[in-house]
């Protein structure tokens, strides 16, 4: 089995900044409530860029950071719940724009855990020797599936993309992986797709393609599962939480992260947080945060980090990574 390391990262978000007070003009809410309950102050909202376009920009930055050329990429996975189309996949659209002609391309649907799943899949491709280099992207335009009249959800989410180049390595990189799902909790976070409707089955369902959520249930699930994921990736390794420089969690709600930090008896500062500026960008949140940590120079070779995600499905997972 080969080792796998993260060679480069990139991220991109639309320029349009929407602050809490801007949303309070659309629904009955206010900055104080949103900051107090979530930690979110602003988010980016697309004024025309689709998920594939955000993906391409994040990918270009990751490719530059990695110092590779698009022809080196043998696998492109885009984690998204908000693709431009069902067909072609976002990954194929990215391939076309990058001219990454040697890549196999597909999308992964695992909601906010999408990037974690996609990194796990790419890691297996590289570990087994099938490929050397993969591009993994998490990208969303959640603004198009929000009900902007529903204050329970429209305050939470934002648009953006993050990417990472993974490559075969001689040195330890991705140390351990953990993924899981619990379909019995699927009803707590739902984004309907196209409804069944054909000459043999007329639909009387006018469901809109809006996300709906039972916030309390998701909160309970998140706080439990993030702890389990962290414990699972540390299990059977020589490392403990003390050895971890940063935990980069899915950026859903600062309260979830504070709760987890307290339970694990670690300082909040071990968790990297940028949700105050982006809101919850679902599959994009972890790679955007990872890119910030990388570009700010917060990591040195040998540092250990944990990426941890949770989301609709329900889905969850984590990676323990040695930075190099």
The one segment of 87-95, 117-125, 149-157, 259-267 that binds ligand COA by CB under 6 A: 149-157
311 binds ligand COA (CB under 6 A): yes
Phi, psi values for residue 276, rounded to 5° = -60, -30
Pair of tokens at residue 287: 């790679």
220 binds ligand COA (CB under 6 A): no
- Is 13:54 a contact under the CB 8 Å cutoff? yes
Q: How far is the CB of 219 from ligand COA (least distance, A)?
A: 4
Q: How far is the CB of 311 from ligand COA (least distance, A)?
A: 4
- Is 158:13 a contact under the CB 8 Å cutoff? yes
Is 280 designated active site? yes
Pair of tokens at residue 39: 């930690």
Distance CA 217, CA 220 (A): 5
Phi, psi values for residue 175, rounded to 5° = -85, -45
Distance CA 240, CA 235 (A): 9
Pair of tokens at residue 148: 């902007």
Residue 263 or 295 having the CB closest to ligand COA: 263
Residue 37 or 60 having the CB closest to ligand COA: 37
Pair of tokens at residue 205: 């369902």
**Among 88, 180, 186, 215, which residue interacts with ligand COA (rule: CB under 6 A)?**
215
Whose CA is closest to 192, among 312, 47, 44, 286?
312
Residue 8 or 312 having the CB closest to ligand COA: 312
Residue 29 or 141 having the CB closest to ligand COA: 29
259 binds ligand COA (CB under 6 A): no
The one segment of 13-21, 30-38, 62-70, 239-247 that binds ligand COA by CB under 6 A: 30-38
Q: How far is the CB of 182 from ligand COA (least distance, A)?
A: 13
Look up residue 139 and give its DSSP letter.
Answer: E
Catalytic residue, chosen from 112, 154, 229, 294, is 112
216 binds ligand COA (CB under 6 A): yes
The site string for ligand COA over 4-23 (x = CB under 6 A, - otherwise) reads --------------------
Please give the size of the binding site for ligand COA, defined by CB under 6 A: 18
Catalytic residue, chosen from 105, 250, 253, 294, is 250
| Contacts of ligand COA in 91-120 (CB under 6 A) | 112
179 binds ligand COA (CB under 6 A): no
CA within 13 Å, CB half, 3 = 15
- Identify the residue whose tokens are 């944990």: 306
- Is 82:112 a contact under the CB 8 Å cutoff? no
Q: Return the SS3 of 287.
A: helix
219 binds ligand COA (CB under 6 A): yes
Residue 104 or 214 having the CB closest to ligand COA: 214
**Among 33, 106, 210, 259, which residue interacts with ligand COA (rule: CB under 6 A)?**
33
Catalytic residue, chosen from 92, 154, 229, 280, is 280
The one segment of 148-156, 165-173, 235-243, 258-266 that binds ligand COA by CB under 6 A: 148-156
Distance CA 74, CA 102 (A): 5
- The sheet carrying 304-311 orders its strands as 174-181, 315-322, 304-311, 244-249
151 binds ligand COA (CB under 6 A): yes
Distance CA 71, CA 278 (A): 32
CA within 13 Å, CB half, 290 = 36
Binding site for ligand COA (CB under 6 A): 29, 33, 37-38, 112, 151-152, 155, 213, 215-216, 218-219, 222, 252-253, 280, 311
- The catalytic residues are 112, 250, 280
């Amino acid at each position: 089995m080969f080792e796998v390391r993260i060679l480069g990262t990139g991220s991109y978000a639309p320029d349009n900044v929407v602050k809490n007070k801007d949303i309070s003009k659309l629904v009955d809410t206010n900055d104080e409530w949103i900051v107090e309950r979530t930690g979110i102050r602003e988010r980016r909202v697309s004024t025309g860029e689709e998920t594939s376009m955000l993906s391409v920009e994040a990918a270009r930055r990751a490719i530059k950071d990695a110092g590779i050329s698009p022809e080196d990429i043998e696998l492109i996975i885009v984690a998204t719940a908000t693709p431009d189309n069902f067909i072609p996949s976002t990954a194929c659209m990215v391939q076309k724009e990058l001219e990454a002609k040697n890549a196999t391309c597909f999308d992964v649907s695992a909601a906010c855990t999408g990037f974690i799943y996609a990194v796990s899949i790419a890691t297996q491709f590289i570990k087994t020797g099938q490929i050397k280099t993969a591009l993994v992207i998490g990208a969303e335009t959640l603004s198009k599936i929000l009900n902007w009249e529903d204050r329970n959800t429209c305050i939470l989410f934002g648009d953006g993309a993050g990417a990472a180049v993974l490559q075969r390595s001689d040195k330890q990189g991705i140390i351990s992986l953990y993924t899981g799902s619990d379909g019995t909790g699927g009803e707590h976070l739902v984004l309907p797709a196209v409804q069944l409707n054909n000459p043999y089955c007329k639909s009387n369902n006018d469901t809109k393609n809006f996300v709906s959520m039972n916030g309390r249930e998701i909160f309970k699930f998140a706080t439990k599962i993030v702890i389990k994921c962290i414990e699972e990736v540390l299990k059977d390794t020589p490392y403990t939480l003390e050895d971890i420089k940063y935990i980069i969690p899915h950026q859903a709600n600062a309260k979830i992260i504070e709760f987890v930090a307290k339970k694990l008896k670690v300082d909040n500062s071990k968790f990297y947080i940028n949700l105050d500026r982006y809101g919850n960008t679902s599959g994009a949140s972890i790679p955007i945060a990872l890119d910030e940590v990388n570009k700010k120079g917060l990591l040195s070779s040998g540092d250990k980090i944990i990426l941890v995600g949770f989301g609709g499905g329900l889905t969850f997972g984590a990676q323990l990574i040695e930075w190099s």
